[in-house]
Structure 1
Amino acid sequence: MHSTELQTPRTLGDHNWHDHAACRSTTHHKVDPELFFPEPDEMDRIRAAKALCTQCPVRSTCLDAALENGDRDGIRGGMTEEERDPLHRKFQHRLNYARVNAVLAGRDIHLTEAERQAVVRAAYQSGTPAERLAWLLKVTEEHAEKLYRRTRREIRNRAVDQTKNAKTKALKEPKAQNPRRDDLGKAA
């Protein structure tokens, strides 16, 4: 795995990572693409494909691309269709702050819904103009303003809820009573 792979998410439409894939066929290294589309019972083909994936420097990028594009067929990122299925189901909940920060820095990368919400919140809290947020998320300025209104409401409601919870907790806790004079006992 390239060290930059973990630090820098790929941009939308960037397929340069294909050039570094272990499954890429070259004149000196022939790879049959059908190897990556075995039937579920073809265990030898599955093992052979996964063995290539194990050596691949862009394996996690391949897996991300499969999840981002909804590719459910074949072996991708070293995983079979069945192994990737739970990841596909949970994918929209992924929250990777490296991706959030990359978008805030102006990079055009794929975001899950959770990551988009984190971008909006971070941009709102840092005072980023709605025009810039619109550009970052590829939405209209009107929609960016709507996202900011919703975020402002969520933050306000969370603060109100926290205040209510603190008051409720304080009411439930027994109050410490000051000892009365007769509770102090008598001096000897």
Structure 2
Amino acid sequence: MNNTDNQTPRTLGDHTWHDRAACRSTTHHQVDPDLFFPEPDEMDLIRAAKALCAQCPVRGICLDAALENGDRDGIRGGMTEEERDPLHRKFQHRLNYGRVNAALAGRDIHLTDAERQAVVRAAYQAGTPAERLARLLKVTDEHAQKLYRRTRREIRNRAVEQQKHANKGKDKTNRQFTAMKESTANIPSRDDLGTAA
């Protein structure tokens, strides 16, 4: 999705990345914040803001923060509101295993719905106690147990469906073999053909 995929995910509430942002005003580098809130037809301002974003070392973190916080206004992470809109719509489906692993390691990071489900499944399969899952996801122990029950049921149902699918494949192969055997039973053997004159 962005260039932060190989970086360590930021923890919740961490705003230290702001200090490294190219859009941060300093005494030696003044940046007008209005530059990042242009009207849709102000193409010169949009280009100028994107040019500044292009050289920003935390552009990916900025984009992630905008998506995580539901921030739809202005230019963030080098993208306009319109360019970010599809990312906002599909954000909860994002599945980044680096983020999943960071959460499993106990880092306090923002997780999408898909990433939370992956954490639950991985924790369940690793035999992580429900109490630990509750701490990782900041939910009650009872809710963590409910998530484990749901995961156990999903895994069981998937296994049943896969077995049904495998059995259907075997049945189809058996039917095809039987049909082929029956169709070849009516073909006369060489002895029944006689000899040519």
> Normalised by the size of structure 1, how large is the TM-score?
0.92
Could you say which residue in structure 1 is the equivalent of 2:125?
A: 125
In structure 2, relative to structure 1, the CA distance for the partners of 1:147 and 1:183 (3 Å cut) is: farther
Percent of residue pairs bearing the same amino acid type:
79
Could you say which residue in structure 2 is the equivalent of 1:153?
A: 153
- What whole-Å deviation, never above 9, does each CA across 1:123-146 have from its counterpart, x for those lacking one? 000000000000000000000000
Separation in structure 1 between the aligned mates of residue 6 and residue 65 of structure 2, nearest angstrom:
14
1:144 matched to 2:144: yes
Separation in structure 1 between the aligned mates of residue 116 and residue 95 of structure 2, nearest angstrom:
9
Structure 1 position 175, deviation (Å): 2.5
Structure 1 position 6, deviation (Å): 2.6
Could you say which residue in structure 1 is the equivalent of 2:51?
A: 51
Letter aligned with residue 28 of structure 1: H
Separation in structure 1 between the aligned mates of residue 80 and residue 162 of structure 2, nearest angstrom:
45
Could you say which residue in structure 1 is the equivalent of 2:110?
A: 110
SS at match of 2:28: coil
Letter aligned with residue 154 of structure 1: E
Aligned length in residues: 183
Alignment of 1:34-113 (within 5 A): 34-113=34-113
Letter aligned with residue 139 of structure 2: V
1:175 matched to 2:167: no
5+ residue gaps, structure 1: none
In structure 2, relative to structure 1, the CA distance for the partners of 1:185 and 1:105 (3 Å cut) is: farther
5+ residue gaps, structure 2: 192-197
Structure 1 position 184, deviation (Å): 8.6
- What whole-Å deviation, never above 9, does each CA across 1:94-127 have from its counterpart, x for those lacking one? 0000000000000000000000000000000000
SS at match of 2:25: coil
In structure 2, relative to structure 1, the CA distance for the partners of 1:184 and 1:11 (3 Å cut) is: farther
Separation in structure 2 between the aligned mates of residue 51 and residue 38 of structure 1, nearest angstrom:
14
> Normalised by the size of structure 2, how large is the TM-score?
0.87
